Structure 1
Amino acid sequence: MHDSKKKDDVLPGFEAPQVDASNNDEQGKKKKKSSGGFQAMGLSFAVLKGITKRGYKQPTPIQRKTIPIALENKDVVAMARTGSGKTACFLLPILEKLTAPANKPLPGKNLRALILSPTRELALQTLRFVRELGKFTGLTSAAILGGESIEQQFGVMSGSTPDIVVATPGRFLHICIEMSLKLDNIKIVVFDEADRLFELGFGEQLQEIVARLPSSRQTLLFSATMPKMLVEFARAGLSDPVLIRLDVDWKLPSTLWLGWIYVRAELKTAALLLLLDRVITKETPQAVVFAATKHHVEYLHLILQRACITSTYAYSGLDPAARKIALGKFINKKCSVLLVTDVAARGLDLPSLDTVINYNFPAKPKLFVHRVGRSARAGRSGRAFSLVSAEDVAHLLDLQLFLSSQLILPDQVSEVGDACPSGVWGALSAEALELRHQDVVSWHRDHSDIQDAERVCGRGWQQYVRWREPASADANRRAKQTPRPAVTHPFLLRAEQAPTDQLVHDIATYRPKGTILELAGKNDSPMYLAMKAKRRVHGKLVQKARDNMQEGTVLQENVDSEKKKVKGKKKQPVRDENYIPHFATDHHTETGMSVNFAAGASQAELELGADSAETDRARRHSMRWDRKRKKMVHVDPDGGRKMIRTESGGRVPASYRSGKYEQWRKRNDGADDTGLRDGHATPSEFRPRWVKHNERVSRTGGGGGEMHDKQHIVKERLRRDKIKQKLKFKSKGKGKKKKK
């Protein structure tokens, strides 16, 4: 009997410790190694059983890092991509914490966990995971979503409220205000896809919800990226948070190959077509192209259609459903090129992507790493090409300082084709580029839609240059001294093309030793004699400058020497000789604790620019210059009053109540409806319209039940008479057919 009980307790999919009776003494001395699975995290049997039924075997890397820290009741800020398993990172600690004997629900205060999601679809998906993983815990759950019947949600949140609520911020705040809901018993709150919550404009609702929560709560925040606003929210709303990152966003993998291609700004479209012709092959059939604005994306989409290259696009102003469809087409390999802006590429997860192309060079080094990080993931190799124009050279030099790397000239490389090393800075073949540019010009001339898109794209670029971050002054100075490459990039060359390209390079870079004054005049002319005297004085300096330009010493300057500045004598601050400095006993500890999150968040912080003039205009109007703080701060549109944004987009006072809940209570006074069915709340799922109609008819008694007044009786008689007439007509028609 004892052995049978042990077999029943073993969960399928999890290793159980086995003890051999014969070797009991030997195994008693050795400690069993932890398997690193869910069973090693100290979870309860009911939670482990739900994990088994769900089919999880081993935790993902983000789950290994997050779940043990969350089980210690610490606040967590975790950076996790879509599909990395972050839902289980906060659901398992919630289930474990709520099933603990110390956290039993108080009478009338059953709401103990709150999960805030940006969209209804994500909230319903999270609710499904809650029910699957918590199937054996006995916890109740519900979803409070916008667009659903608010009266049914009143029934859920009144009486016996569920243990776990998955909600969208707007509707949940509306419910809290209407019902004067107390959130004192909430033990844990989760902000899922926090960057999307702020991107969709839920910042005010989140601040108001956090103000209603108890200070003793545990907060878990999950996000794909860390905008500046989100970092400030985490510092204000979390107590001593732990930042968890997988450290792949700001480190370039060793398997990523980088290529820099110099091209004039007006020839970038032709250069992109040449690059796609070379890059898209049977081995690497797809590529992602990053552009500056949504106007560039639409323009390039029209160009690629004329070039017979299948493409799709996505940007911030696009409908979420259309963006999802475009990404699905690219993932399912229905098209070869995906055109995106930086805003639309937030959290983009394409594990099988091989090639990334920067059509417009990014203004920030972190943004470059974020872009090219879409490739060479999960141990795969990848390539990243960047089209660099004259105005992008300063940003390129800033990026080299950030990456601690140097540009390699084509003259220093002997390999060509796929054997070309990473980091080479080259150009495109002038002949092939000119031919491709003629095709682009003909498309502009023959197709009015492309011509209009190019005009809009030009105006959009002028606006983009105004709001993008400028390069450093030091990089601008060095960019003026940096020679532009004239040799074709070795990656784009074949072995037989190398001598021809070298000859073209020698002709393009040829500089005669004499000047025009020395070539045309005679040996005894005043101009010739003057230049000869001048060369005698300054000849060595001119030759030294030419040698430096040929060797490319500007590109190979030491980073440390560029960073050094002439340091003058600093004035020592005058202090009183009797002054005694004082620090608190825990000064260093507190400083270290604050620096850990602040330093990690500053490295993880990524502020993406706008991809349209409308977005940038709205962002600039929401900021103003603070003279005291010496920085831009957010404008309070309410003038100090406490206002919130409603689900329809309007602004109302935070204490505004429409009275819907009081009306609902009067209609349902005395009704014994707790809003729960089989341990789950009823309005937590999308139901067809006919189901809601039948429920409403059954409540009003219009489904053929007891008659309330004379009108109901008359209507019911007329309805039955019509049915009888129809039946008589059908029976007569059948009789005539039989007689024939």
Structure 2
Amino acid sequence: MLDLPGFADPNKAVNISNDVTIKKKSKKKMGGFHSMNLSFQVLKGVTNRGYRQPTPIQQKTIPLILEGRDVVAMAKTGSGKTAAFLIPMFEKLKTRSAKAGARALILSPTRELALQTLKFIKELGKGLSLKSSVILGGDSMDDQFEALHGNPDIIVATPGRFLHVCIEMDLKLTSIEYVVFDEADRLFEMGLNEQLTEIVGRLPDFRQTLLFSATLPKVLVEFAKAGLSDPVLLRLDVETKLPEGLKLEYFMVRSEEKLAALLVLLKFLMDSSKNQQTIVFAATKHHVEYIHLILDRSGISNTYIYSSLDPSARKINAAKFQSGKTNVLVVTDVAARGIDIPYLENVINFNFPAKAKLFVHRVGRCARAGRLGTAYSLVAPDEQAYLLDLHLFLGRPLSIVTSTNLEGNIGKISRDLLEDQLASLLVLEAQNADLVAIQKTLDNAYKQYLRSRPTASSDSNRRVKELGLDVCSIHPIFRQVEELHRDCLLEKMKTYRPQGTIFEICGKNKSVEYLTMKEKRAAHKDKIDNHKKLLNDKKAVPTVQPSPKSVLADSTSKDINDTFRNVIVPKKRHQMDVLYKKSKKIKTEDEKVFIPYAPNDQHTELGLTVNNFQNEASKVQMDLTGDSEEAMKLNRSLKKWDRKKKKMVTVENPLKGKIKTESGVWIPATYKSNRYAEWKDRTKANQNHGNEDEGEEVRPQLKAKRYTHWAKHNEKMERKQRKSEMKSMDQIIKAREIAERKKKRQKKGKKGRKHKKK
């Protein structure tokens, strides 16, 4: 039997040695949107939008929503919460249903957020046939009546206007299946409790309700307890973004002085501390090469890494830095992702990152495992807005170094130190011609980098101008005692203003000019004092708070445990909670046996409680309604003493000008103005009510007719341009005759061309 290559003899046994290992194909981990059992159209919209991997809030929330659970999720802005409730909504609704009415309702606190949500709906649901409409305050109510008559599948609205439209149209909202309260804490902070309660009262009991909030106040917990059925609480708060032992220091420098500032900073670190390792992050590989050459010529031992560097060279340079042969490593963001130095002390941002997450990624490489570390950043004028975006993202206030605030972390480098390094750089460029050629390449590379750099938020660009970061004082790191006195003296000289004008200082006390200015000053004393007060307020240390404190009361752990049976928290946080519980002191007393020294109601018996019934009842007055016309008039003119106004004021009925809704809530009577009935009569929308039972979509007349000259002219032109789908016999015969004439003309034209050729 011939031995064929590739085929073994079946009669012979084949022994596989132990050295040979069979490699199995590793299965790819499917943790993305593909593993969520989404339909093809929904998944296509997600991928077209640019989503590749779900964010933590999306990964935890979407499966729970698809199961039909009511969810309360704590998520901050920018965490992907909009897609977290839109993707399962598209999966539940899928196709258009004209006769069912609105099936999803999304309530937003502001019109900007509502419009942003509508934009996301159009982008994510591009391949679906769902119809959406927006109901916002300030827009035309007639257009909103028309939009709701079109039976949209999804309604995005603000609570005030939506409730107004519901009362005007007497909507029952029985077809709503999916309700989302976006930024729920802001909805309650804006005082929309009654509107939300009334809207929830109109919704059916079998709905699915979702609440997304950045905080969890007590009002929100009570609302979830009353309006949601067995909700799941997702406490996916943003984890601590920066290590606890990390200090942040910022230096305001001009773009052309950045290299000199870097040299000043590195020499300071080398002198002040020994064997501390430092990573310098630059924007492009050209920056890395240029900084590497400058540091070599300046006598600072360093190495460098960037993405297009040879792999063996990258490995060698990284080993040099990790082994401690060099204390400075210059890298780009792409090359720095694979580097892990557990004992790194300092990070320097030569080019400030445009994204806050990129900053966290850079500086998070130091101060690990409980060690201390410092992140230094050189901030140019065109990068100051990104600094403000970063601190809003981190939730930290800005602390600018001024003459009054000497312990800030945003300051300048001493001018003397910068001048020395600038002079040394000029000498280096004069001695080395190759540095000048590299600098031209560097400038071109930086222009390309600026094109790809995302822009900072418009709010940060506006607020940076008000902060005055350019006028900050010298940073505490580089400040000396002599410089401190000098800065204080210069600051006083800049802000010195004499008490009097030139007429008062140079003139005599009894002169006409002196007396005139004194009278003028006395007449405008109030305005002068107000102006001085404004100047003092501007001189105060400017700070940027991450967000205003909530005016709502915080919820307690007891409120959360009573409302939510299932609470999902991050693993790290769960471990910390367990450790915290273990560290608590165990109560040694037994409640059944232990007798306290003072009774529980001691403060109540002494009358020291805040909300005591006797104290509250003493402030209440009860007025009986009169049973005659005179008594009724007298009751209307009752007055009481107003402490603020210091006079008697008429007691107004608190329910005056309000109406009672179906759920028993009193709302302003201006909501009901019969505008919907007038709109129906004007647009003949009531004629189409008979077709609603047959499942046909209601299409009311768009606008009322205008009887002006140009309106009639436009209507005639529209009728001429309009073509009916069903043609009459005459129209068909006429179209055929026109087609035959065209064919005859074409034949004649062809014959004429042939004769000319001959």
TM-score by length of 2: 0.41
Q: Which has the larger radius of gyration?
A: 2
Q: Which has the higher contact order (CA 8 A, sep 6+)?
A: 1
TM-score by length of 1: 0.42
